[in-house]
């Protein structure tokens, strides 16, 4: 579990760092305006907010990739032992997967 978490967080952290560098190079956050008002009062706060937004997007992307790398057996495996499976489960008596 810890290895899967590292596989999600570390690449997303690196991508967030690069995205934040590109963002800070191309945009001055004090010039970003919504509905006639500036979105941020100071640059450091805007860069920090941007980094965490980019990191969350990277986490979502990496987590989706890890999810789709799972095999069908991992996804469809029944977590319950045979005696605890619900009535009517076809694999309750045989011990196979639900």
Q: At 1, is the secondary structure helix, strand, or coil? A: coil
Q: What is the pLDDT of residue 51?
A: 95
| Residues in the chain with pLDDT values less than 70 | 94-98
Q: What is the pLDDT of residue 11?
A: 93
pTM, entire model: 0.70
Q: Could you read off the pLDDT of 38-61 as tens digits, one per residue?
A: 889 999 999 999 999 999 999 999
50 touches 20 (CB < 8 A): yes
With a pLDDT cut of 70, the percent of the chain lying above it is 94
Q: What is the pLDDT of residue 96?
A: 52
Q: At 41, is the secondary structure helix, strand, or coil? A: coil
């Amino acid at each position: 579990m810890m290895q899967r978490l590292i596989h999600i967080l570390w690449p997303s952290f690196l991508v967030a760092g690069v995205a934040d560098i590109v963002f800070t190079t191309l945009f001055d956050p004090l010039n970003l305006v919504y509905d006639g008002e500036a979105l941020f009062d100071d640059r450091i706060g805007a860069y920090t907010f941007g980094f965490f937004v980019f990191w969350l997007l990277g986490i979502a992307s990496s987590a989706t990739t890890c999810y789709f790398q799972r095999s069908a057996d991992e996804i469809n495996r029944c977590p319950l032992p045979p005696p605890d499976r619900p009535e009517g489960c076809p694999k309750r008596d045989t011990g196979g997967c639900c």
